[in-house]
Structure 1
Amino acid sequence: MTTPWTTLVGAGTLAGALDRDDLVILDCRFSLAAPEAGPAAYAASHLPGALYAHLDRDLSDHRKRGGGRHPWPDAADFNARLGDWGITQARQVVAYDDGDGAHAARLWFLLRALGHEHAAVLDGGWARWTALGLPTQIGVRDVTRVARDGRFDESRLLNASQVQAHLARGGMLVDARARGRFLGEAEPIDRVAGHVPGAVNRPYADNLVEGRFKPRDRLAREFGELLGTHDAADVVAMCGSGVTACHHLLAMEHAGLPGAKLFTGSWSGWIEDPARPVVTGES
């Protein structure tokens, strides 16, 4: 039996498995500045057999209000989209993007929260794949639509009120945004700068070296130092809108620290209520 990929998969390993009948590859390339750049890049060239997953249309639900800039979708809608892609529970899913893995990690955590264990992110993404001269193609393959259901593990998905209660109990909140945004020194996206009182900062880029995830033992050591006496299951990750925080959830699970949770609305959801406290600087 083939060992499932559950966190990361290397480009060479994936290239050697492209003929697997159970494999579904999803292209998650996306740009906040140009939301249609990802679909255009996919149309121009993509991994063999890959389908396209759009951050706004497939991995978020913008019909919702009060859930930040990338609201978490309902399970029924996400199950329907997985069904459109022919993804049964038995399928091995691999996601990739052309950035630092954050958009692919969003898809990975959507699947993980739904109980789909056989899901991984291509380490190094499109850049690594093309640098190695591995095959690409154009065109969209035929897909047999399937019916599926399932519920998200709501215990791993927190809203702002639940985050406040989590912090009041002494839980840990890790903000994955860049240091300048966390401190409130710069805010290029949201209308309010700063961070949630009680949060600690680890930029998600710290999980990478030369565009790939750090070795698992190094990640385990770094997260161990960050967590201190906290268990991984007592950690909630956040970012600007619940996307790049998934990079931490992936890195932690790869490091043998599973069970951390996501503040789905993250900073953009927190500041939707002006009554919620905001701090800047090192406080």
Structure 2
Amino acid sequence: MNAWTTLVEPRELLHRLGGEGLVVIDASADLGSPGAAQARFLQAHVPGALHADLDHDLSDHRLHGQGRHPWPEARDFVARLADWGIAPDDQVVVYDAADGALAAARLWWMLHVLGHERVAVLDGGWNAWQAAGLPVASGPARPRDRADYPSGRAFEDSRLFDASDVQAHLRRGGMLVDARAAERFRGDVEPLDRVAGHVPGAVNRPYAMNLQQGRFKPAGALREEFQALMGDTAPGDVVVMCGSGVTACHHLLAMARAGLHGAGLFTGSWSGWIEDPSRPVATGD
């Protein structure tokens, strides 16, 4: 069977549900209401899906100074995969209720930089699944047998940037792309972090520009748009960011769909940047 490595359509997933080696994960999140996403999962989800919690499963809040959703250690993430019953060769499909932006693309990227190739995001997410009238389950996820995920797996650290790495990246002439909405980038409003604005030298492309009617744009269109943004900059010289390293992964998924590989993630993103008040802040376009 063909592996899905970027996106999968709802009916494609439907035809594989219940098949050997397929794991579906609901990564829906609600930044303002802890526990709300889990409650919605209990009410309705794709049959057989597990639930991943952004704060407890995809972040490590024991770490400080790294933004609102600190990037976890590989050993902890690998242990979580084993607990979920995921093996290295399994096909994983992730979805959320926000077109992949919270936090399906984050989990896709975490698996991707761990070297797990067979992972994709459900195009259109939970909304597309429901709109198509596809089967829905409720109640707790059915436990899977613990899997033997190699404990020595490591993240591809060369594609994970902290604030110091980003400063060095910009000094070398690299590109930093901020996926937040334009008004947050400019500093007009800031609903989540204590300081408004952006990293000096960053450029803005809101993640919503990757979408068309709730689905990812065709690969060719995304390629043209990102190439216009990057100009002569190679994909491997691009780092993406957002508020806390979650929605920025939407850009990484869009670039992968477009065949533009090699970009990195500023894991702490804006909330990590402003942890140190000595770092400069820019406002405006």
What range is the shorter-chain TM-score in? over 0.9
Query: How many Å separate the matches in 2 of 1:95 and 1:276?
Result: 35
- Amino acid in structure 1 at the alignment position of 2:146: R
* In 2, Cα distance between equivalents of 1:219 and 1:272: 33
- Tell me if the contact between 2:245 and 2:266 (Cα under 8 Å) persists in the aligned partners: yes
Counterpart of 1:210 in structure 2 is 213
Amino acid at match of 2:182: R
Q: Which residue of 2 aligns with 1:75?
A: 74
> AA paired with 2:112?
R
Q: What residue in structure 1 maps to residue 251 of structure 2?
A: 248
Map 1:1-283 onto structure 2 (within 5 A).
2-102=1-101, 103-139=103-139, 140-148=141-149, 149=151, 150-282=153-285
Match of 2:72, SS state, is: coil
User: How many aligned positions are there?
Assistant: 281
Normalised by the length of structure 1, the TM-score is 0.98
Between the aligned partners of 1:146 and 1:215, the Cα distance in structure 2 is 35
CA distance in 1, matches of 2:42, 2:18: 21
Structure 1 stretch displaced more, 152-161 or 16-25:
16-25
* Contact 1:48–1:135 (8 Å) recurs in 2: yes
Summarize deviations over 1:44-67 as a string: whole Å, max 9, x none. Answer: 111011000000000000110011
Secondary structure at 2:77 match in 1: helix
**Deviations 1:80-137 (CA, angstroms, capped at 9, x unpaired):** 0000111111000000001121110000000001000100000000100011010111
State the 1:20 CA deviation: 1.6
Alpha-carbon distance in structure 2 between the residues aligned to 1:86 and 1:40: 22
Quote how far apart the aligned CAs of 1:147 are.
2.8
SS in 2 for 1:16: helix
Equivalents in 2 of 1:60, 1:210: separation in Å?
30
Separation in 2 of the partners of 1:66 and 1:270?
9
Unaligned runs of 5+ in 1: none
Deviation of residue 7 (structure 1)?
Answer: 0.3
Q: Deviations over 1:11-54 (max 9, x none)?
A: 01111111320100000111111121110011111101100000
Cα distance between partner residues in 2 of 1:83 and 1:77: 10
Q: Distance in 2 between matches of 1:238 and 1:30?
A: 18
Output the aligned Cα RMSD.
0.7
Please tell me whether the aligned partners of residues 80 and 147 of structure 1 are also in contact (alpha carbons under 8 angstroms): no
Answer whether contact 2:184 2:197 (CA < 8 A) is retained: yes
Distance in 2 between residues matched to 1:142 and 1:270, nearest whole Å: 38
Unaligned runs of 5+ in 2: none
Kept in 2: contact 1:219–1:251 (CA 8 A): yes
In structure 2, the residue corresponding to 1:205 is in which secondary structure? helix
Runs of 4+ residues over 6 Å off in structure 1 = none
Q: Structure 2 length as normaliser, TM-score?
A: 0.97
Determine if contact 1:24/1:50 at 8 Å carries over to the other structure.
Answer: yes
Conserved? CA contact 2:106–2:250, under 8 Å? yes
